[in-house]
């Protein structure tokens, strides 16, 4: 069994120093890896990234992360990525990584994902160029996610996202914002490629648990929703 700690939407800002590290210091006693599902910082600038990097010094297990929309706001994502990588975080954007834990292999395919909405109430790559670009961005990310997951030959596979692939984990959000919270294209990609677990964030007022049409468990680990510094899922257990 692999014990996966996960959290998203910490929105680390100038007043976050010392707030997360005490909760993460003993994480290695109860988890094998920490997954971070985006909105790691509030505005995505280097100052906030440095504060997060210092908080992450407390973590003694492998860390893997994707960006959220907030992490891109200051157009400093290359620098932010560098700061977090130097702090030991494996950053994924349309990429994969494999961890070896207790003689098992865990493959993680990570992407921020994007919006567009859900079947029956979604955008289309039609009309204005900016609308076509919006939807094509999601299509590209979903396609890459599918290819990456399908290529992983590991005992377990996790998809790490920021945006939601299903509506279940948005329950509690206003219906009007669903198209900005995720896309069903991500779920279709997941179901075609297969995965053992999907982790995402972005939905601060949604629900923790959901499932894709083909039965892949989806977990929304946004910190404002969970109201704690991490949660743990047991891969290989009967109930994740």
Query: What are the residues binding Fe ion (CB under 5 A)?
Result: 9, 39, 68-69, 202
- Number of C-beta neighbours around residue 237 at 10 A: 10
In whole angstroms, the minimum distance from the beta carbon of 170 to Fe ion comes to 12
- Of the pair 99, 199, the CB lying nearest Fe ion is at 199
66-94 burial, b at 16+ Cβ within 10 Å, e below that, comes to bbbbbbbebebbeebbebbeebebbbbeb
Nearest approach, Cβ of 222 to Fe ion (angstroms)?
6
Positive or negative, the CA dihedral 227, 76, 165, 127 is: positive
Cβ neighbours, 10 Å, residue 229: 17
| Smallest gap from residue 163 Cβ to Fe ion (A) | 8
Of the pair 66, 99, the CB lying nearest Fe ion is at 66
Q: Which is nearer to Fe ion, 194 or 224 (CB)?
A: 224
Closest residue to Fe ion, judged by C-beta, is: 39
Nearer to Fe ion, 106 or 185 (CB): 185
The distance of closest approach from Cβ of residue 188 to Fe ion in the complex, given in angstroms and rounded to an integer, is 21
Nearest alpha-carbon partner for 94 in 114, 111, 113, 77: 111
């Amino acid at each position: 069994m692999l014990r996966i700690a996960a959290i998203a939407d910490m929105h680390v800002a100038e007043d976050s120093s010392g707030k997360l590290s005490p909760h993460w210091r003993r994480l290695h006693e109860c988890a094998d890896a920490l997954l971070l599902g985006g909105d790691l910082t509030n505005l995505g600038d280097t100052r906030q990234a440095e504060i997060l990097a210092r908080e992450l010094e407390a973590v003694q297990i492998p860390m893997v992360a994707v960006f959220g929309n907030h992490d891109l706001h200051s157009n400093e994502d290359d620098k932010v990525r560098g700061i977090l990588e130097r702090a030991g975080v494996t950053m994924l954007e349309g990429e994969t990584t494999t961890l070896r834990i207790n003689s098992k292999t865990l493959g993680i395919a990570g992407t921020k994902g994007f919006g567009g909405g859900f079947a029956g109430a979604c955008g289309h790559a039609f009309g204005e160029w900016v609308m076509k670009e919006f939807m094509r961005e999601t299509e590209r990310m979903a396609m890459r996610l599918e290819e990456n997951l399908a290529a992983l030959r590991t005992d377990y596979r996790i998809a790490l996202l920021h945006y939601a692939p299903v509506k279940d984990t948005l329950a509690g959000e206003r219906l009007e914002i669903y198209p900005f919270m995720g896309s069903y294209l991500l779920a279709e990609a997941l179901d075609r490629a297969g995965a053992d677990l999907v982790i995402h964030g972005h939905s601060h007022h949604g629900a923790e648990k959901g499932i894709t049409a083909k039965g892949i468990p989806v977990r929304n680990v946004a910190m404002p929703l969970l109201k704690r510094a991490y949660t743990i899922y047991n891969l290989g257990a009967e109930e994740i």
